[in-house]
Amino acid sequence: MHAALHSPATTAAPPQAAWVHGAAGWQLQLAGAWGPLPGAAQPGSARAGDAAPGAATPGGAAPPPWPAPPEGLGPLTPVGFDALDLQAWDSGLAARLWALCAALAQQGVPVALDGLPPGLRAALQLAQASAGAPAPAPRPAARQAPSQAAITVAFFGEVLLALGRWLGGRSRLRAADVLQQLDETGPRALPIVLLTCGLVGLMLAYMGGAQLGRIGAQTYLADVVAVGMVRELAGLMTAVILAGRVGAAFAAQLATMQAGEEIDALRVLGVDPITHLVLPRLLALLLMAPALMACGALAGVAAGWPPAVLAYGVSSAEYWHQALRALNFTHLWIGLFKGMLYVALVALAGCREGLHAGRSAQAVGQATTAAVVKALVWVVVAATGTTMVFTNLGF
């Protein structure tokens, strides 16, 4: 928004503004060439097309200090403008005049815009036309928004109800949805689950060997690794990996759908988003989790073998024999139960954050972060709780 008022032949004078008191009362005298944007490459001139397009002409002079309006203005002292010597103006001058007019209008000072060039006057009038329209004020909340914890509890309840409806045969899941989720969640997570569980098993073997060696009980090294992996760590590590890989993806997918009103489109069709979106993801993870955990536990126990044999002098046959003897049925089902619980929490955290995300690109990122953090916290809390409960029950 930059308009030259006089022929470009006259050399551009520096911009000036000053209040003068004349016969017609106070006037703001404007002179010189205002704008264009300092520091900016000047846009190709629309008027003449004279400047070589693309050439970065130096920007205009910096605007002068803006004079404060004179003291003692009131409803009886109208002010005007004298812009006879104004050579060019830009939106910076328009913005200053607009701010000035708003301030004067608040004091009740009548302002006559006649002295301004027509384009500037029209721009100011257009900007002032909105002054009557009330600013979109933040409306008072009709009621307290539900807290995050309440949303979570409500979400868990909805999932349980949807699960009940499905098990009772009153709603249907599309097998294709579940299969698609299985494909997206399972196979590609396997390598990284094997790697992390294997490394944890290795670590466990070293630590167990060092402690057990002090009392000459290296034979039981296999017990430590096998029970530790199967009962606690395979599930925990699988859940941690899935939280980062899959829970975050759930949150991002659902939050993007939320931003694009896709979830509302399901609702108006009468499709329950929990049944249609959450259950397939939950079931897919629950189906995939035992396989991943079993592989992870195997990798962990196998990775404990080299340190046991090479560093702590346990014979190979002894290690495997002891490992199999240590694993009774109780350890297996406790490990399975805990792992399934963790994975369910991961899926629910991802879906909960996704479904309750805001409607912007930024909200998608927030939902993804929150999903991972919530999943990890919930999983660790659940791990602690179940360990205490099962131990105290004597399993």
Report the interface residues with other proteins, using CB under 8 A.
1-3, 35-41, 43-49, 53-54, 56, 59, 62-63, 90-92, 94-96, 98-99, 118-120, 122-123, 126-131, 133-136, 138, 358-363
Considering only CA atoms, which of 281, 269, 256 is closest in space to residue 174?
281
Alpha carbons within 13 angstroms on the beta-carbon side of residue 184 total 18
Strand ranges in the chain using DSSP code E only, listed in sequence order:
2-4, 16-22, 25-33, 80-90
Which residue from 204, 220, 225, 232 is spatially nearest to 322, judged by alpha carbons?
A: 220
Report the first-to-last Cα separation within the chain, whole angstroms: 78
**Which are the contacts of 375, defined by CB distance < 8 A and separation ≥ 6?**
239, 243, 247, 345, 346, 349, 350
- Considering beta carbons, is residue 50 or 71 the nearer one to other proteins? 50
118 versus 270: smaller Cβ distance to other proteins? 118
Beta bridge pairs of residue 86: 32
Q: What residues does 20 pair with on adjacent strands?
A: 27
- Give phi and psi for 273, each to the nearest 5: -60, -30
Q: Residue 359 Cβ, how far from other proteins at the closest point, in Å? A: 6
Smallest distance from other proteins to CB 75, Å: 23
Toward other proteins, which CB reaches closer, 267 or 359? Answer: 359
Q: Which is nearer to other proteins, 5 or 210 (CB)?
A: 5
**Smallest separation (angstroms) from other proteins to the CB of 92:** 6
Which residue type sits at 86?
L
Give the nearer residue to other proteins in terms of CB position, either 2 or 356: 2
CB of 58 to other proteins, least distance (A): 11
Determine the Cα angle at 131 with ends 125 and 132, to 5°. 110
Q: Closer to other proteins at the Cβ: 47 or 143?
A: 47
Task: Give min distance, CB of 101 to other proteins, in A.
Answer: 11
| Burial class of residue 45, CB neighbours in 10 A (0-12, 13-18, 19+) | middle
Nearer to other proteins, 229 or 255 (CB): 255
- The C-alpha angle 256, 176, 154, rounded to 5 degrees, equals 50
Give, in order, the Cα–Cα distances in Å from 334 to each of 97, 230, 238, 282.
75, 9, 15, 20
Q: How far apart are CA 262 and CA 277, in angstroms?
A: 11
CB of 44 to other proteins, least distance (A): 4
Please state the closest distance from residue 368 (CB atom) to other proteins, in A: 14
CA pair distance 83, 3, nearest whole angstrom: 14
CB distance 238 to 343 below 8 Å: yes
Please identify, using beta-carbon distances, which residue of 94 and 292 lies nearer to other proteins.
94
Closest distance to other proteins from the beta carbon of 352 (Å) = 20
